[in-house]
Amino acid sequence: MKQMLNILPMLTFFIFYQFYDIFIASGALIISSGFICIFYWFLYNEIDKINLFSFFIITFLGSLTIFFHNSQFIKWKITIIYMIFSIILFISQFLTKKTIIQRFLEKEIKISDIYWRKINFFWASFFLFCSLLNIYIAYWCSEKTWVNFKVFGFTTLTFFLILITGIYINFKTVKQK
* Cβ atoms of 85 and 130 closer than 8 Å: no
- pLDDT value for 91: 95
Burial of residue 30, with CB atoms counted within 10 A of its CB: 0-12 exposed, 13-18 middle, 19 or more buried: buried
Are the beta carbons of 54 and 78 closer than 8 angstroms? Answer: no
The CA–CA distances, whole Å, from 110 to 8, 86, 128, 162 equal: 32, 24, 27, 17
Question: For residue 109, what pLDDT is reported?
Answer: 84
Each as own residue / partner, the long-range contacts of residues 172-177 (CB below 8 Å, 24 or more positions apart, any chain) are 172/111, 172/112, 172/115, 173/109, 173/110, 173/111, 176/110, 176/111, 176/112
> pLDDT tens string for the chain (177 positions)?
566 777 899 999 999 999 999 999 999 999 999 999 998 899 888 888 888 899 999 999 999 999 999 999 999 999 999 999 999 999 999 998 899 888 888 888 888 889 999 999 999 999 999 999 999 999 999 999 999 999 999 999 999 999 999 999 888 776 555
Widest pairwise Cα distance in the chain:
58
Coil, helix or strand for 70?
A: coil
pLDDT of residue 44: 84
Q: What is the pLDDT of residue 1?
A: 56
pTM of the full predicted structure?
Answer: 0.87
